[in-house]
Structure 1
Amino acid sequence: MNDPSIDEIGRTFIYHVLAKLTLPNDFVESESLVSRLEGSVQGALESAAGASILDSRRLAEDLFHEFVSHDVFSIKKIPFAQTVYKFKAQAYNDLRGAVLAKNEIYADSQQIPKYYESVFEGYKRTQTGERSDPYSQAELREVSWTDVDERIDDAGKATIRAKIIELATAIQQSELTDREKQNLLARTRAVQQLLDAPDPSWREIVEILNNKYLCAFLNTIAIIQLITMA
C-alpha cells in the first residue's frame, strides 16, 4: 500500500470518530456550514492530540466538498442570493460507512488489536519524530549492556519502575480486549520482577518490552530509550 498523505490520515480519522456528526437541520450558507463542520473536526483532533499536525479548516473544507458531491446536503438555490445547504444525517452515515469499508488505512487498523485511534497515534508520532515501532535485533546488538549496568543507578531504576506502573495503567485504560490486556500486563509484571534483582538483566528487560503492541504505548519507548540510550 502507498504511504497515505497526512490529509488522508486525517480524513479517515474524522470519518471514524464522527459517527454521530450533527450539523444544522435548517438551510444555511456554505461558509456557516464549513465553520460548524470545522468545530467538529477540531474537537475530534484535539481529543487525539492531533490538532498540531492537521489543518482542521482544510479538512472541513475538503469534507464539505465531498459531502456536496455525495448528496449529504439538500441544496436550495435562492434567486439573487447564495446557494444554501441542509445537512442529511442518514446520507452522511451511509457515506461514512462506505468510506471506512473501502479505506486501506482503516482496513489495516482492523488487523491489529487496537482501534483506529492507535493507528492515528502511531502515525502522529512518526510525523513528530517520536518512535512507535520495536527495535530491531541489529539495533539491540549495538547496545553496550555493560555500560547500562554502570549508568543506571538506584534513582534511574526508580524512574523506570514509575514508568512501568504508568505503562500498566495505560494498558488497563486502553481499548484492547481483556485477553490482550492480560498478555501485555504479564510482560510489565515480568519487568517489575527483574527490576527487583540487585543486578537486573537489562537486555532481558528490553527484549520483554520490545513488543510491537507494547511499543504502541509512549511509555514503553521511553523506558527502552532510558535503558539503551538509543
Structure 2
Amino acid sequence: MQPLPTKQTTRLYQALAEKLTRLIASGEYKPGDRLPAERELAALYNVSRPTVREAVIALEIEGLVEVRIGSGVYVISQTPSREGVERDIGAFELTEARILIEGEAAALAAANITDDELAELERLLAEMEAANLSGAGAGEMVDKRFHEFLAGCTRNSAMQSAVEHLWMVRNRSPQCIRTFEKSRTKGHKPVIDEHRAIIEALRSRDPVAARTAMREHLGRVLEYLLASTEIEAIEEARAKAAAQRDRYKVSERL
C-alpha cells in the first residue's frame, strides 16, 4: 500500500479519513463491518497510531463509524449524517504545539512576572480546584483562563496571541472537542498539583524550571488523550486471556 499523500494543506489524519470514507462509500467496508485494527491501519498506510485515532474520530463525528471500546471500530453508515463537518486541527497535533509554545511562554513569563500576577495565578488555581469538584467540565474553563493569563505575563503580545489562538482552536475544532470529551468521560480534569508546580517555578523566577513544569504538565495532557482514545487495549487483553484459557484446556487433555 502506498503511503498517504502529504501535501502541506492536507493533514495526515485528514488524508486517511478521506481514504476510509471512499472505501466505506464504495462498499469495501459495509455497515456492520469492523474496520481493520488500529495497528493494521497504521502499518497499511504508514502513519502513526495517533494519526489513525484522529481519522477514526473524524469518521465518528461524521456518523460513518461507531467506536466500541474493547471491540473495535464499526461502520454504521455509508453516507455522512453530518454534512460539511470541518476536519480541523486534531487534539494530538494541537497539544504537541502547546507543549512547544506554552513551554517557552512559561520560560519568558518567569523573567517578567510580578508578585501581583503570581497572586492572580494562585487565585485562579483555587478557583480551578473548586470548579473541578463541581463537575461538568467547569475546571477546563478556568484552566483556559489560567494559561491565557500566564501568557500575558510574558509581556510579549505575539506570544500571548499565539497561546490564545491555540485555545480558540481547542474549543472550536470538532476534532478537539470530541477528543477532549472522551478524555473528560474517562475522568480526566485539570491537575491541580501540575499547575501548582508551574506557579512555584514562576515564583522562583527560574525560566528553565518554568519551561520544564509546563512541558511536563502538557505532556501528561497528551498522555491522557492517548489513553482516553485507546480502542484496542481491552480487546487485546481479552485475546490474550482467551489464548491462555485455550492453552490450559490443552494442558488438561494431556
Coarse TM-score class (shorter-chain normalised): 0.3 to 0.5
> Which has the greater radius of gyration?
1
Higher helix share: 2
TM-score, normalised to structure 1, is 0.35
Q: Which has the higher contact order (CA 8 A, sep 6+)?
A: 2
